[in-house]
Chain A
């Protein structure tokens, strides 16, 4: 089912949480809402779930949320049939894992409620899906963080939601578990193809899991695109800055600069050499080399006093025989220029 948000605004008192936000998520897509805290991404998610209401607007076409082209403004949370997974799981502590997952089925009105046997089968199936067979009798307190999160997901999936909404689902977990769950979530999505919206502040997570990424900042959408698009063709300074580390060249440091604009170059987009390559090459001195990691981080102080980070593959580092204090040239192979007037 597709989900559409049309020109939505939301203010809390004098605080603007969402400003003229529009978004369309296609049926079966996995979209990540990516942004720093306070960017409005969680508000947007809760609005889609029906836990917040958009500000009213004079224009009847504005401030709408549509599920499959149908206005859902009047629908309550339960009518929307969304599966919502909370950051801190929100598992029912007094219920077993089994009862947690069965909850959504058990609270259905008598006519629509599946029989006990059906509920049992469904929960068994879901436990298998989340790889927690045999954990049905445990209580949430007896599970690890990653296990709890999977139970929360199974609980949301039990009601066969039309849309799955995940609010920082892996935010409270440690890096290793997070990585595993991320891959698992992607595989799961490929099996089920439920329209999914995921909120995260972790750019790696968004780029790795999502079909499309929505980058948000200060209540607005900065860019919508595939992971490749937002990473390689960032639409704004904010996007390039937020998605990984970047060197900023400003002032007269480069000939490519015109007027007030700034040039952004990622550390791996810089070439380091002993000799000048072309007219864009900048000379400088090696200050520091961090060798821990897949590639070395070389910090260079340019002649006009700018600190630049260059990522150099290990084998290249060795062949260059770089040392502290060495005179080098750095050349951008790719650059992103942002100015008030134009963008490359």
Chain B
């Protein structure tokens, strides 16, 4: 946010209106956002650092962390690859049904995670479309690790594509055409010209995708058997601990995820500043 922006937006509202609205905002944000964040760390450390360390070193907690990382490590790269392909296909070419395709890509945002889980059960459950076939190959999806991974993939499908499509739309295809006319192959054009131009937006999408992948709860809880040490992700483990009246452990694990989300927010605003900066450059170019 530069000084010129401040110049154009800064308001000359009466002082009392400013105080009122700033007060209202700060109060609301404090009550709604800062307080819950503080409570997590307070509750996590209330019983002492020893209880905290114990909760984290628990075998089930460790395996929950491992499963969360596994699901994230699979779904983020796959959806990143998908996002790049989808953005390229929908911004570099025109074909019938393109806007329909873009709307479909966005659908997982609009579908309740619980319903997403339900859909996966209908497909891959024992009585589902593919369930018995997969079962005969000895592959259990629902109530097992593959189901957890699939659910995580489903809820994070649009994240990268959604960040890339508007950016690539705005940049147009002139640079790509220039590269091709200079003799570059499709792959060279993508790596040398397109990728450098979209790197911040890509990183942004990957960041949001990762945050969601690590934190997904509803969809995963439906398709997971909630067996500790086996199919529990971190959020599921937190749920289980909380229901066991082991709040300190639940909050200890929560504090990891909360810290990650704070990091996400910091990285997010840093990236937003970069993306802003790039788009301002573009205006100047034209």
A107 at the interface (CB under 8 A from B): yes
Interface residues of A in 113-162 (CB under 8 A from B): 140-141, 148, 152, 155-156, 158-159
B140 at the interface (CB under 8 A from A): no
- Nearest-CB distance from A163 to chain B (Å)? 11
A82 cross-chain contacts in B, Cβ below 8 A: 181
Knowing A94-B196, A141-B284, say if A156 contacts B174 (CB, 8 Å). Answer: no
Contact of B180 with A77 in the complex, beta carbons under 8 Å: yes
B185 at the interface (CB under 8 A from A): yes
Contact of A77 with B285 in the complex, beta carbons under 8 Å: no
B175 at the interface (CB under 8 A from A): yes
B188 cross-chain contacts in A, Cβ below 8 A: 107
Q: CA of A141 to CA of B178 in the docked complex: distance in angstroms? A: 17
Give the nearest-CB partner of B176 in chain A: A90
Knowing A86-B174, A88-B174, say if A107 contacts B285 (CB, 8 Å). Answer: no
Contact of A90 with B174 in the complex, beta carbons under 8 Å: yes
Knowing A88-B174, A92-B175, A107-B192, say if A78 contacts B181 (CB, 8 Å). Answer: yes
Among A76, A88, A94, A95, the one with the most B-chain Cβ atoms within 10 Å of its Cβ is A94
- Nearest-CB distance from B199 to chain A (Å)? 9
A93 at the interface (CB under 8 A from B): yes
- Nearest-CB distance from B254 to chain A (Å)? 41
A35 at the interface (CB under 8 A from B): no
Q: CA of A84 to CA of B181 in the docked complex: distance in angstroms? A: 7
Q: CA of A15 to CA of B196 in the docked complex: distance in angstroms? A: 36
B182 cross-chain contacts in A, Cβ below 8 A: 78, 103-104, 107, 155-156, 158-159
Contact of B175 with A107 in the complex, beta carbons under 8 Å: no
Knowing A86-B174, A88-B286, say if A93 contacts B181 (CB, 8 Å). Answer: no
B138 at the interface (CB under 8 A from A): no
B184 at the interface (CB under 8 A from A): yes
Contact of B193 with A92 in the complex, beta carbons under 8 Å: yes
Q: CA of A43 to CA of B47 in the docked complex: distance in angstroms? A: 73
Contact of B177 with A107 in the complex, beta carbons under 8 Å: no
Q: CA of A51 to CA of B179 in the docked complex: distance in angstroms? A: 12
- Nearest-CB distance from A160 to chain B (Å)? 11
B180 cross-chain contacts in A, Cβ below 8 A: 76-78
B183 at the interface (CB under 8 A from A): yes
Interface residues of A in 248-265 (CB under 8 A from B): none
User: Among A89, A91, A104, which residue has its beta carbon within 8 angstroms of that of B183?
Assistant: A104
- Nearest-CB distance from A112 to chain B (Å)? 9
A49 at the interface (CB under 8 A from B): yes
Contact of B179 with A86 in the complex, beta carbons under 8 Å: no
B62 at the interface (CB under 8 A from A): no
User: Among B178, B281, B282, which residue has its beta carbon within 8 angstroms of that of A84?
Assistant: B178
Knowing A82-B181, A92-B175, say if A140 contacts B285 (CB, 8 Å). Answer: yes
A267 at the interface (CB under 8 A from B): no
B264 cross-chain contacts in A, Cβ below 8 A: none
Q: A56-99: contact bitstring with B at CB < 8 Å (1 yes, 0 no)?
A: 00000000000000000000111001111010111111110000
Contact of B177 with A86 in the complex, beta carbons under 8 Å: yes
Interface residues of B in 163-179 (CB under 8 A from A): 174-175, 177-179
Q: CA of A249 to CA of B175 in the docked complex: distance in angstroms? A: 49
B285 cross-chain contacts in A, Cβ below 8 A: 88-89, 93, 140-141, 148
- Nearest-CB distance from B261 to chain A (Å)? 31
B197 at the interface (CB under 8 A from A): yes
Give the nearest-CB partner of A161 in chain B: B181
Q: CA of A108 to CA of B196 in the docked complex: distance in angstroms? A: 20
Give the nearest-CB partner of B284 in chain A: A141
Q: CA of A89 to CA of B193 in the docked complex: distance in angstroms? A: 14
- Nearest-CB distance from B248 to chain A (Å)? 50
User: Among A81, A86, A108, A148, which residue has its beta carbon within 8 angstroms of that of B178?
Assistant: A86
Q: CA of A148 to CA of B184 in the docked complex: distance in angstroms? A: 21
Contact of A78 with B286 in the complex, beta carbons under 8 Å: no
Contact of A93 with B197 in the complex, beta carbons under 8 Å: yes
Knowing A88-B285, A88-B286, A107-B192, say if A94 contacts B197 (CB, 8 Å). Answer: yes
User: Among A77, A91, A92, A172, which residue has its beta carbon within 8 angstroms of that of B181?
Assistant: A77
A76 cross-chain contacts in B, Cβ below 8 A: 180
B196 cross-chain contacts in A, Cβ below 8 A: 92, 94-95
Q: CA of A93 to CA of B283 in the docked complex: distance in angstroms? A: 13
Q: CA of A49 to CA of B185 in the docked complex: distance in angstroms? A: 16
Contact of A107 with B179 in the complex, beta carbons under 8 Å: yes
19 pairs from A and B in contact (CB 8 Å cutoff)? A77-B181, A78-B181, A78-B183, A78-B184, A78-B185, A81-B183, A88-B285, A88-B286, A90-B175, A91-B178, A92-B175, A93-B197, A104-B182, A107-B179, A107-B182, A107-B185, A141-B285, A152-B178, A159-B182
Known contacts A77-B177, A78-B183, A103-B192; 12 further A-B pairs (Cβ under 8 A): A78-B184, A78-B185, A83-B181, A86-B177, A93-B197, A93-B281, A93-B282, A93-B285, A103-B179, A103-B184, A107-B185, A107-B188
Q: Which 4 A-B pairs have the closest CB atoms?
A: A104-B182, A90-B174, A107-B184, A94-B196
